[in-house]
Structure 1
């Protein structure tokens, strides 16, 4: 990414960055928004007078998709990869008071729990194979899935009781997870 973007002429005023380049975009930038730094990745680079500014507009995507809903108090973020920190940031910004990070790797999820706590939410970890997950699902108002559709498919029945789902994956649509939630009345 540095070699590519660093070679762009002045006609390039911005760049959209996808995975796996989001971490490199943050490191490459001359300046970073606070949220990009907190999230730990950038999906947007904008040319400024001093170079390139990094931002993470995934936060806006999650907030925009869920911001019109009232009563979102408890959320589950499924996954601990690239989009998950933006989901945690957006949910905390929407005033969600309790965020459960449901993932396989507690080490990767720890950063998300810390981020949620830093942003004022009660953030916890639930192992996807653990006993605490069903309780979190029963209490959740919203689920934000940040994992590939095939990875979430095995958990579709587990998460079906959550009334609202935002799936970061849009192809294929509906995902097995979105279909399970819809079939359960969500």
Structure 2
């Protein structure tokens, strides 16, 4: 008989999150009938009170989405090197003694999603965008890219940020203006980290012999860029791949059970998206 434990995803907005679908599917597959996984609308201002009044010994952990990935750090008892490298925590594990330790499963989740599709090493890459996901993309590229990364960004300030992340993560980062993003596709791997609609105008510029596109969006899917990429014969890794792989790592950390049921979690996510 399993110990009753709670887990949840926090963020704002949170109603769209697929995390409950993925984690509940894992619990069902693992036989953790007494475990629960919920979602809570929590912004930065409300996060300290949630930690103080809600997060007790009955909890196994939390998944965090925007805008909480940096705001949570001062509330934790420890932070992994992976999370500290990008100053972003998307996973909190509550230990039996009450310690709250933060980690980032987005970075190894990206690497795992790429490796599942046969991308282990590349000699160059491009990143579209410069937000929080872009810094995680650079951290993932630090593990698999042996050469330069070009980041296509909208401002000089964003360009400076990306070069700064590159220095911190040990990645050779060059920057280019967003207006030149149509020229981003001549490298083995392109990671699109921008909001829905941002890359739509780039779809006509996908080359005949494209490499791999990792588009972190999953709804709506496919994006016009991903569709054009697939039509041209290029390899496409999608946001659901990332979501599932980072959730697999969260489930393993929170439950202590390995391996987490990747296939069941992916099927649950696909079914949930198809029903929207």
**TM-score range normalised by the length of the shorter chain:** 0.7 to 0.9
Q: Secondary structure at the match of 2:56?
A: coil
Q: Is the 8 A contact 2:125 2:145 kept in 1?
A: no
Match of 1:56 in 2: 104
Q: Deviations over 1:129-163 (max 9, x none)?
A: 14xx455432x1111111122112122334x2342
Partner of 2:126: 76
Residue 36 of structure 1 is matched in structure 2 by 83
1:91-110, Cα deviation, whole Å (9 max, x unpaired): 11113421111111231232
CA RMSD of aligned residues (A): 1.9
Using the alignment, how far apart are the partners of 1:50 and 1:112 within structure 2? 36
Larger Rg: 2
CA distance in 2, matches of 1:82, 1:120: 17
Distance 1:70 1:43 in 2: 24
- The answer to which of 83-92 and 176-185 deviates more is 176-185
Aligned to 1:2: 48
SS at match of 1:147: coil
Q: Which deviates more, 27-36 or 173-182?
A: 27-36
Q: Is 1:107 aligned to 2:152, yes or no?
A: no
Deviation at 1:171, TM superposition (A): 1.1
1:13 corresponds, among 57, 60, 78, to: 60
Distance 1:124 1:64, change over 3 A: same
The answer as to whether partners of 1:76 and 1:136 remain within 8 angstroms in 2 is yes
After superposition, the Cα gap between the structure-2 partners of 1:112 and 1:29, relative to the gap in structure 1 and judged at 3 Å, is farther
Q: Kindly tell me: are residues 98 and 50 of structure 1, through their superposed partners in 2, closer, same or farther at Cα, counting changes over 3 Å?
A: farther
User: Which secondary structure state, in structure 2, belongs to the residue aligned with residue 6 of structure 1?
Assistant: helix
Q: 1:119 to 1:170 in 2, by over 3 A?
A: same
**Structure with more relative contact order (C-alpha pairs < 8 Å, separation 6 or more):** 2
Which residue is 2:143 aligned to? Answer: 93
Conservation of the 8 A alpha-carbon contact between 1:25 and 1:43: no
The runs of 5 or more residues in structure 2 that have no matched partner are 1-46, 235-276
Question: Which residue matches 1:122?
Answer: 172
Aligned-pair CA distance for 1:128: 0.8
The answer to whether the 8 A contact 2:57-2:98 is kept is: no
Aligned residues of 1:77 and 1:143 also touching (Cα < 8 A): yes
State the number of aligned residues: 182
